[in-house]
Amino acid sequence: MRGDKDKLRTEVEELLKRRPGWKLQAMATPGLPPVWGFGSGGQVELSVGTDGDSISIYVVEQDLDVTLSSTSELAAWLKAYKPQACQDPKDGLGDKPKHRRFLDWE
């Protein structure tokens, strides 16, 4: 079971890392895994973390919790709710990025 938890966490990390506006944030409570936060100007608008075999999203402005079961669901939800959170990172080389794009997650 531990491998499945780590796999989902790794998939979320692969989806969000290096994308503009996303940062990995440590939790204030010891022992809790870090979450990904999206926002600008130092304000977090969304946080995304894994909890067992699910992905948890918290929308700060609306005090809304959303639970999803896969990274493809996460990608679809982000595209619909917060498209600016789906920007592909710039690799600075002018070449095709070496990571998966959001469109690839569906």
Q: Are 48 and 85 in contact (CB under 8 A)?
A: no
pTM over 0.75: yes
- Per-domain residue ranges for the chain? 2-105
Look at the alpha carbons of 21, 34, 103, 19 in this order and tell me if their dihedral is positive or negative: positive
C-alpha 71/C-alpha 54 separation (Å) is: 9
Q: Single out the residue of 50, 42, 51 nearest to residue 13, CA to CA.
A: 50
15: pLDDT confidence band, cut at 50, 70 and 90?
very high
Give the burial class of 58: count Cβ atoms within 10 A of its Cβ; 0-12 exposed, 13-18 middle, 19 or more buried.
middle
102: pLDDT confidence band, cut at 50, 70 and 90?
low
What does pLDDT average to over the chain?
83
pLDDT tens for 39-80 read 988 889 999 999 889 999 999 999 999 999 999 999 999 999
pLDDT value for 48: 96
